[in-house]
Amino acid sequence: MRRVWCAAVALLVAGCGIQPTGVTDGGEAPTGVAPGVTLYFVGADGELRPRQRDTGGLGSISEALSLLLSGPGGSGLRTGIAPISVQRVGVTIEPGVIELVTPLTIDDVTPLGIDQIVCTALDTHVRSGGSRDMRVRVRFTQPTPETDELRTCPLIR
Amino acid sequence: MTRRPWLRGLRARLLVAFVLVTVLGAVAAVWSSAGSAGGALVTSYQRQVTRTIGDQIGAIAPQLTYPPDQGALDRLRATVGANALVVYGDLRSADGVDTGLITDELRLAVRTGDRLVTQRTVVDGEPWLLVGTPVMITASDGTRTPSGIEVYAVRDLTGVEREIDGLTRSAITTAAWALPLSGLAALLAAGSVLRPVRELRDTAGRLAAGDLDARSPPQGADELAELTVTVNEMAESVQTSMAEMERMRADARRFAADVSHELRTPLSTLTAVVEVLADTTDGMEPDARESARMAITETHRLVRLVEDLMEVSRFDAGTARLRVEEADAVGAVRDSLRARGWWDRVELVAPEEVPARLDRRRLDVVVANLVGNALRHGEPPVRVHVSALPEQVRIAVTDSGPGLPEHVVPHVFDRFYKADAARTRTPGSGLGLAIALENARLHGGDLTAENTDHGARFVLRLPRDPEEPGDPEER
Amino acid sequence: MAAILLIEDDALVRRGLELALHRHGHDVRTADTGEAGLREFQAFEPDLVVLDLMLPGMDGFAVCRRIRASGEVPVIMLTARGDDFDVVGGLEAGADDYVVKPAKPTVLDARIRAVLRRGTGTRDGVRVHRDLRIDTAALMVSLHGEPVRLTPTELRLLLTLSRASGRVFSRQQLLEEVWEQSYIGDSRLVDNCVQRLRAKIEADPAAPEYVQTVRGFGYRFGPV
């Protein structure tokens, strides 16, 4: 009888403590390191071209878009975005949507230029560990019908 | 297994069984609930830790230069926390505390895998959570490749363990509360189960003690109720046969009493006339004289027999009454012997006097029977020994004859018991010793028969002050 | 030689006892019922009555009480042996003695003679104790100068007790001296007779002056 009691108590005590375990999976590994950022420009054939810019780190979407707005530099590529003095872009990430507030008017960008912005933002988002299914809304300084459009990058599907 | 005595009672066994079941149930409940709650607690803490670490790394990773320099590694380590280690190739962050706990197993999993991994260890009795993860590089198309940066973090689980212990303790406390409650419930249940058993036991006890009217009402329709009904039926049938037997015995006694009563009237006539007859036998023919004397002798025998029968009937009917008075037992014995002319044939050994409260007539009957027997069946000297004990008068009648045959001793007080054919024609009625015994018992005393080395000995013991309701002295 | 009235319902027993008592020299008259017995008692004026208690019609107790009420004629009862109810009832009804049935005529005769004997041996003149005067020669007892009518047994009891004033007599001694029962007498005979005697001579029978009880032993005559 007493032995049964002891066994019960021992079992009880054993059940309470934290037991050592083997190595168990804890989910996705974090990501986001990169040697540089990828900007999208327009090639000679009028197609979108990703171009790696070695900045030493990935940086934020905002930083990537600032680099994009500062132009292709001497890379032989063109851009569909008019040069502008103010290169700051506001970035807000909402569920499923990345909202970009650009210092541009709709007239400052060609349709390809909008794609450049969308692809650069999405690329940076994905590489910092974000989802590829995000839509991007691009806002301009004046409200236009294009503002409400939810866009995707033709190169990132 | 040797059962301890206290476990033998039904109540105790029920109680133990109840408490045991409750305790086992409580233990199981405590164990499983505390276990699952504890498990959930650890898991949720672990998930929170890994998510935090993952988020922290994910948040700072884009700001880090890649390939990282020492500064980047230190920054990353600082972000993850004090107990962390960041490794890139040969570079490693400045050591945090307790990073020595990180196991090789975990390092291997981090180095070769592309997932965040965790491991729990217990070192010196303290639980730790180890988290390790590679930091990945994600390409534009979503493919991930290890960056070569490994982050390790160590988290103390003592707090969680304390929380779990608290949970367990409260569960045990709750279970402990159930214990007296279960005991109480067991007592109630045992009571309800045992009450009919107890009643049945009491009834059986009363039946065994002779109270044949004892019954217990059956309750419900369970096995106990059936047993109760059976016991009742048994009692009923015993009672019926006892009543029948009692009735038959009463009939037999009444018959004997009636017969002797009816015989008394003709015997009164005979007794009256045999004296007349006796006075005239001298002038008779020898044959007629012998016949007349036989008739006289047998009439006297018949009278004695009928008187004894009636005396026995009174004992049987319970109408025999004791009339005690202050008397000297020695004097009473002496009177009995003298009155029967035995004074010269019997040796009386007695103190000067033994005062006692006796029914003199009944004592005389006993003494006359015992001494008469000794004189008839034993050899002289016949000795009557009266002695005074503190509470008793002891009167022993011994003879120096052959003694009683061993097979007779147990039956010597039976009615009409004939030890052998030779004794059938003695003057006794065959009831003398039975009546003597009844008289002794009526006094609250006893009469026994035994053999000594020299002959038979009958010992009468009478209380010196018998309990007796009426006191003739007090009139 | 005494005139005896025998009241007994059974004809053969009656005749048997009549024959036997006759042989002992008694003049015997018989009756078969209580009523006939009482009639005979008036006509015959016997010295003594032998009375069977079990009678049809008027029972022996009632007969005994009637006889006692009308005078000092002694009564001897015939009872079943040890039948306490009969004995106690008969003694309370005033019987002087009893004989157990079946009665041996010699025993009955001895009882009759004992009961009928009026005096004791010593006739030492007149004993006066306060208001009680006992003339042992004339066998007369008077209280306050008035004669007291006592049965022979009562008289003998009083004579025996008063013979040695202050001496204690045990019941057994009294049975031997008064009833002439040599052994195993019934002490209730004494107690009943004492009660009857007290009723006749004591001012307050509950607080007796002359016949005093000595607890646990017997009786004595006072005043000392």
Three-state secondary structure call for residue B401 = coil
CB A104 within 8 A of CB A140: yes
In a domain, B69, yes or no: yes
Mean pLDDT of each 10-residue bin along chain C, 224 residues long: 89 90 91 91 90 86 89 85 73 85 87 79 73 82 85 86 83 82 75 88 84 83 73
Whether B149 and B279 share a structural domain: no
pLDDT of amino acid C82: 57
Q: What DSSP string describes B219-235?
A: -SSSHHHHHHHHHHHHH
* Closest to B259 in 3D by CA, of B320, B308, B299: B308
pLDDT of amino acid C173: 82
Banded model confidence at residue B159, pLDDT cuts 50, 70, 90: confident
In a domain, A9, yes or no: no
Which of B271, B335, B336 comes nearest C102 by C-beta? B271
The β-bridge partners of B405 are: none
Interface partners of chain C (CB pairs < 8 Å, 3 or more) are: B
- The 10s digit of each residue's pLDDT in C109-167 is 988 988 887 666 566 777 887 788 888 877 888 888 888 888 888 888 888 888 888 88
In a domain, A5, yes or no: no
Residue contacts between A and B (CB atoms, under 8 Å): 166
Tokens of B332: 């009473």
User: Domain end: B316, B339, B365, which one?
Assistant: B316
Inter-CA distances, B449 with B396, B397, B406, Å = 10, 10, 11
In a domain, B156, yes or no: yes
Q: Which of A108-122, B126-140, C79-93 has the lowest mean pLDDT?
A: C79-93
**Domain boundaries in chain C?**
3-116, 126-221
Distance CA A51, CA A41 (A): 7
For residue B327, give the CATH number of its domain.
3.30.565.10
Which of B23, B116, B149 comes nearest A27 by C-beta? B116
Distance CA B146, CA C83 (A): 130
Chain B residue numbers touching A118 (CB-CB < 8 A)? none
Q: Is C216 on the interface with B (CB under 8 A)?
A: yes
The β-bridge partners of C19 are: none
pTM of the model: 0.53
- The 10s digit of each residue's pLDDT in B15-64 is 788 778 887 887 787 778 777 888 888 888 888 988 898 888 888 888 88
For residue B280, give the CATH number of its domain.
1.10.287
Whether B140 and B21 share a structural domain: yes
pLDDT of amino acid B99: 67
In a domain, B216, yes or no: no
Q: In B91-157, which ranges are continuous DSSP H helix? A: 104-112
Mean pLDDT over residues B416-445, rounded? 74
Whether B333 and B253 share a structural domain: no
Q: In CATH, what is the architecture of C126-221?
A: Orthogonal Bundle (1.10)
CB C28 within 8 A of CB C70: no
pLDDT of amino acid C7: 93
Our measurement of the distance from residue C112's CA atom to the centroid of its chain's CA atoms, rounded to an integer in Å, reads: 10
Banded model confidence at residue B1, pLDDT cuts 50, 70, 90: very low
- The 10s digit of each residue's pLDDT in A50-98 is 888 888 888 889 888 888 888 887 778 888 888 888 778 889 888 889 9
Test B135 with A31 for CB contact under 8 angstroms.
yes
Distance CA B147, CA B57 (A): 13
Which of A8, A16, A50 comes nearest B165 by C-beta? A16
The answer to whether domain C3-116 has CATH 3.40.50.2300 is: yes
pLDDT of amino acid C224: 55
Whether B286 and B305 share a structural domain: yes
Q: What DSSP string describes B23-54?
A: HHHHHHHHHHHHHHHHHHHHHHHHHHHHHHHH
Count how many residues are written for chain C: 224
CB A127 within 8 A of CB A52: no
pLDDT of amino acid B473: 40
Which of B265, B272, B323 comes nearest C17 by C-beta? B272
- The 10s digit of each residue's pLDDT in B220-248 is 777 778 888 888 888 888 889 988 988 88
Test B339 with C182 for CB contact under 8 angstroms.
yes
Distance CA B419, CA B408 (A): 6
Window 161-180 of B: residues touching A by CB (8 A cutoff) are: 161, 164-165, 168, 172
pLDDT of amino acid C152: 85
Three-state secondary structure call for residue C26 = coil
Per the structure, the count of domains in chain A is 1
Which of A16, A20, A25 comes nearest B120 by C-beta? A20
pLDDT of amino acid B470: 45
Locus of tokens 């506001």: A90
For residue B135, give the CATH number of its domain.
3.30.450
In a domain, A120, yes or no: yes
Burial of B391-406, coded b for 16+ CB within 10 Å and e otherwise, reads ebbbbbbbbbbebbee
Who's near C60: CB < 8 A, 6+ residues apart? Answer: C7, C34, C51, C52, C53, C54, C77, C90, C93
Whether B299 and B248 share a structural domain: yes
> In which domain, by residue range, is A92 found?
34-151
Banded model confidence at residue B7, pLDDT cuts 50, 70, 90: low
Test C20 with B276 for CB contact under 8 angstroms.
yes
pLDDT of amino acid B472: 42
CA distance C138 to chain B (A): 32
Who's near B75: CB < 8 A, 6+ residues apart? Answer: B60, B64
Distance CA A32, CA B133 (A): 13
Whether B355 and B234 share a structural domain: no
pLDDT of amino acid B471: 42
Tokens of B165: 């212990």
* Closest to B24 in 3D by CA, of A12, A77, C170, C106: A12
| Residue from C6, C10, C13, C213 whose CB has the most chain B CBs within 10 Å, to mutate | C13
Statement: residue B475 has pLDDT above 60: no
The β-bridge partners of A45 are: none
Q: H/E element holding B116? A: strand B115-123
Q: What is this model's ipTM?
A: 0.83
Amino acid at C156: R
- With 0-12 / 13-18 / 19 or more C-beta atoms within 10 angstroms meaning exposed / middle / buried, residue B81 is middle
Window 339-368 of B: residues touching A by CB (8 A cutoff) are: none
Tokens of B197: 């058993």
Whether B13 and B85 share a structural domain: yes
In a domain, A18, yes or no: no
pLDDT of amino acid C118: 67
Whether B301 and B397 share a structural domain: no
Using H for helix, E for strand and C for coil, what is the string for chain A? CHHHHHHHHHHHHHHHCCCCCCCEEEEECCECCCCCEEEEEECCCCCEEEEEECCCCCCCHHHHHHHHHCCCCCCCCECCECCCCCCCCEEEEECCEEEEECCCCHHHECHHHHHHHHHHHHHHHHHCCCCCCCEEEEECCCCCHHHHCEECCCCCC
Test A32 with B161 for CB contact under 8 angstroms.
no
Distance CA C94, CA A102 (A): 152
> In which domain, by residue range, is B298 found?
224-316
pLDDT of amino acid C68: 85
In a domain, B437, yes or no: yes
β B84-88/B144-156 pair status: antiparallel
User: Domain end: B289, B316, B343, which one?
Assistant: B316
DSSP single-letter state for residue C222 = -
Q: Where are the beta strands (DSSP E) in B312-414?
A: 325-328, 346-349, 355-358, 382-388, 392-398
- The 10s digit of each residue's pLDDT in B287-329 is 888 888 888 888 888 888 888 888 888 888 777 778 888 888 8
Phi, psi of C213 (to 5 degrees): -85, 135
In a domain, B15, yes or no: yes
Tokens of B348: 């009386």
| Residue from C182, C183, C197 whose CB has the most chain B CBs within 10 Å, to mutate | C183
The torsion defined by the Cα of C53, C55, C61 and C66, in degrees rounded to 10, comes to -120
In a domain, B335, yes or no: yes
In a domain, A44, yes or no: yes
Distance CA B45, CA C126 (A): 134
Q: Is C102 on the interface with B (CB under 8 A)?
A: yes
Our measurement of the distance from residue B122's CA atom to the centroid of its chain's CA atoms, rounded to an integer in Å, reads: 57
* Closest to A148 in 3D by CA, of A156, A123, A140, A40: A140
Whether B331 and B394 share a structural domain: yes
Who's near B342: CB < 8 A, 6+ residues apart? Answer: B371, B375
